[in-house]
């Protein structure tokens, strides 16, 4: 079949999950064609290889009898993880996405089905940044599940026991990282969809001594800050004038808050305490404030001396935020009353409902647009359709921006791989956010496009990978390549990117 035949066949399939399965089968049957389609039709196919469709795939991973192409590590592999790495693939792995399946998107603990997340994310390194498929490895840590539905399901393929915790869990992770260092000394590891109990701790433990990052914490922060900075171009304002209210105070929310604070410190000269005072958080108990006791460690820096508010609408009335960010997985939490208050307090209110998948979003684009009279600056975690409205006397199409981490993490990981980066600091994510915020043209911003189109994503990634690599080397985090590099990053990045195969060419994509 030709490229066009596959696209026509895919478009004729009605259910998104069946499109996902069609593409997975194509990867097994004709990996050459599979990667061609993803590279040629990135914008159209992204939702079917990753979010939002991948959420359903993870929930039904066993039921759908999906043939795994990643590597499972279980607690039974303790003492022999390095041997398992050696036996699984002979490839020179440069980038790894690892999950333990505990907090998949916004849908919870799906255990061994979390492999779908690692497989989906690792694809984006190739499609977006051009990392060769043979250098990419998805890993799922099967350490049990606390999901009773899975434990009682006849189709579940993971360990049928409660999640491993405590020292045994930490020892398994420690052995994995030691084995990775021994097997591939310069591999970049991306943590994905770990629960709050482990996410911050694992990041703090391993990033000083291994090239790793947590996409839910740092990648989400990067693309959100990029969206805010792009929105501020429309407002003709700056970060120092913003008050940001978050619904949700988990790893994604506080990660965004910390990167926003870092930007205020590094670019505007505020102290860290002053910077954090621009960010406020609502959790399940209400507004995070200094009067609250027994706050989790990651919330404490944002517990300001303000009156407690029990509900979001109370907090909006009290704080009058300029930016409202949802990371709560509470559908429709941004009610008409709340959105209209945001429009009352701000000429151009920024409203970012970031929760995934789509049915968990805090509000839709259509509602945010209409409830603000078209003045909203909007970005969501999952895609929404564009809409048409009158603007300056003519009908104009307005587009909801999708704050997709895929703009950021593949290029950052590729830059880390090319420079053999030793540690990916938060400054790297700040530099990446600033670069992404400048990619959209002014006329595109006016139509809601805070981020560039994915149809040109590899060109964007060349620029972003080059900027990150340059920063890493200039700041002692990595080193320029010893061969083939002549002092200019963009030509070198292009030379290292995976080239789209012709239909008759074989490719070596299997691990």
Residues with catalytic roles: 50, 121
- Tokens 């920024």 locate to 350
Instruction: Please return the burial class of 68, using the count of CB atoms within 10 Å of its CB with bins 0-12, 13-18 and 19+.
Output: middle
192 in a known ligand binding site:
yes
Copy the structure tokens of residue 207: 């990033």
107 and 124 in contact (C-beta within 8 Å)?
Answer: no
Give the H or E element holding residue 191.
strand 188-191
Q: SS3 for 385-403, per residue?
A: CCEEEEECCEEEEECCEEC
Residue 103 annotated as lining a ligand binding site: yes
Residue 356 marked in a binding site: yes
Torsion of Cα atoms, 266 then 477 then 137 then 259, to 10°: -10
Distance CA 166, CA 175 (A): 14
**CB proximity list for 485: less than 8 A, separation 6 or greater:** 492
Q: Which residues touch 346 (CB under 8 Å, ≥6 apart)?
A: 322
Q: Identify the helix (H) or strand (E) that includes residue 34.
A: helix 31-40
Distance separating the N- and C-terminal Cα atoms of the chain:
25
Q: How far apart are CA 361 and CA 371, in angstroms?
A: 16
The DSSP letter of residue 406 is: G
Contacts of 147 (CB under 8 A, 6+ apart): 108, 109, 110, 111
Is 216 annotated as contributing to ligand binding?
Answer: yes
Q: Provide the CA 285 distance to its chain's centre, in angstroms.
A: 26
Give all strands of the β-sheet with 279-283 in edge-to-edge order: 286-287, 279-283, 244-247, 323-326, 350-353, 377-380, 401-402
Helix intervals (H) in 113-242 = 115-124, 148-151, 166-183, 196-206, 220-235
- In whole angstroms, what is the distance from residue 24 CA to residue 28 CA? 7
Residue 404, annotated as binding a ligand? yes
Let me know: does 286 contact 313? Beta carbons within 8 Å.
Answer: no
Sign of CA dihedral 43, 94, 192, 299: negative
Binding-site annotation: residue ranges for (S)-malate: 103, 356, 404
Binding-site annotation: residue ranges: 103, 192-193, 216, 356, 404
Binding-site annotation: residue ranges for a divalent metal cation: 192-193, 216
């Amino acid at each position: 079949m030709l490229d066009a035949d596959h696209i026509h066949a895919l478009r004729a399939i009605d259910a998104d999950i069946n499109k996902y399965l069609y593409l997975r089968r194509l990867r097994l049957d004709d990996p050459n064609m599979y990667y061609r389609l993803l590279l040629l039709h990135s914008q159209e196919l992204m939702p079917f290889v990753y979010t939002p469709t991948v959420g359903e795939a993870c929930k039904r991973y066993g039921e759908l009898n999906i043939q795994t192409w990643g590597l499972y590590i279980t607690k039974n592999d303790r003492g022999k993880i390095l041997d398992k790495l050696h036996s699984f693939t002979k490839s020179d792995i440069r980038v790894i996405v690892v999950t333990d399946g505990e907090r998949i998107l916004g849908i919870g603990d799906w255990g061994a089905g979390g492999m779908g997340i690692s497989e989906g994310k690792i694809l984006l390194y190739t499609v977006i940044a051009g990392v060769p498929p043979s250098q990419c490895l998805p890993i799922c840590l099967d350490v049990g599940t606390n999901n009773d539905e899975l434990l009682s399901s006849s189709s579940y393929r993971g360990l049928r026991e409660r999640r491993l915790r405590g020292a045994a869990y930490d020892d398994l992770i420690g052995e994995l990282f030691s084995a990775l260092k021994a097997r591939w000394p310069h591999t970049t590891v991306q943590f994905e969809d770990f629960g709050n109990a482990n996410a911050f701790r694992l990041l703090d433990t391993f990033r000083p001594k291994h090239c790793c990052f947590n996409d839910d914490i740092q990648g989400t922060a990067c693309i959100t800050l990029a969206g805010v900075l792009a929105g501020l171009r429309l407002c003709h304002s700056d970060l120092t004038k913003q008050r940001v209210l978050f619904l949700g105070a988990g790893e994604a929310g506080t990660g965004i808050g910390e990167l926003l604070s870092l930007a205020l410190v590094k670019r505007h000269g505020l102290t860290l305490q002053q910077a954090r005072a621009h960010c406020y958080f609502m959790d399940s108990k209400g507004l995070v404030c200094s009067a609250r006791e027994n706050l989790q460690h990651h919330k404490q820096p944002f517990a300001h001396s303000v009156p407690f508010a029990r509900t979001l609408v109370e907090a909006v009335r009290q704080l009058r935020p300029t930016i409202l960010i949802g990371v709560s997985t509470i559908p429709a939490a941004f009610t008409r009353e709340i959105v209209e208050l945001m429009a009352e307090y701000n000429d151009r209110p920024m409203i970012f409902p970031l929760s995934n998948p789509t049915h968990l979003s805090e509000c839709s684009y259509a509602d945010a647009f209409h409830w603000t009279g078209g003045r909203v600056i909007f970005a969501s975690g999952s895609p929404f359709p564009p809409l048409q409205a009158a603007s300056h006397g003519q009908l104009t199409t307005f587009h909801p921006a999708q704050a997709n981490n895929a703009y950021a993490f593949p290029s950052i990981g590729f830059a880390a791989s090319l420079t053999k980066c030793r540690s990916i600091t938060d400054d790297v994510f700040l530099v990446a956010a600033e670069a992404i915020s400048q990619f959209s043209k002014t006329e595109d911003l006016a139509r809601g496009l805070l981020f560039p189109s994915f149809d040109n994503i590899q060109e964007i990634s060349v620029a972003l990978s080059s900027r990150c690599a340059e920063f890493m080397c200039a700041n002692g985090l990595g080193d320029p390549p010893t061969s083939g590099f002549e002092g200019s990053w963009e030509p070198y990045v292009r030379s290292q990117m995976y080239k789209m195969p012709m239909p008759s060419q074989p490719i070596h994509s299997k691990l």
